[in-house]
Every structure is written in structure tokens, then in C-alpha cells.
Amino acid sequence: MGSFSIWHWMIVLVVVLLLFGSGKISGLMGDFAKGIKSFKKNMADDDTADASMADPVVPPAGNLQGPATVQPTQAAPQHTTNRPAA
């Protein structure tokens, strides 16, 4: 009583074919396939859009090779002349 036999499924298939005809069913299956293709295409487009919108890789703030050393800058020597003020 719980499961249908192959004959039940055959009768259902014949009734569906009589009601809708083979042309409508093939058109329906074609539309279904187009919907699946469109869905897959949009999912692939979303994945590429997400990848292009991702933040660029930013290196860490610290130096990976050891502690940072600051080199003192040498200022250009100032040339002064000993002139008397006028």
C-alpha cells in the first residue's frame, strides 16, 4: 500500500502525456535546462565578482627579517662665514 509498482507509474506517465502532450513536455524540459544553465552562469559570475572585490593582500606591519633598525641621516654641513654684520 505504501509503494507504487511499475504499472502505477506507467499509468501516471500515460495520463500526463495525454494531458500535456509530448510537445509541451519537451518545451518544459528545454526551459528547465535553460534555467539551470543560467543559474550556473550567474553563480560563476558571482564567484569572479567576489574574487575581484576582495581586499588586496597587505603585508604585516612588522619586519619579517628581524627588528627594524633606523639609520641616522647625515645632515649636510652648514657653511657659515665669519663676516662682520654690516
Cell numbers for 36:
539551470
CA 56 remoteness from chain centre:
14
pLDDT tens digits, 35-62: 999 999 999 888 787 777 665 666 566 5
The pTM assigned to this predicted structure is: 0.40
pLDDT tens digits, 4-14: 899 999 999 89
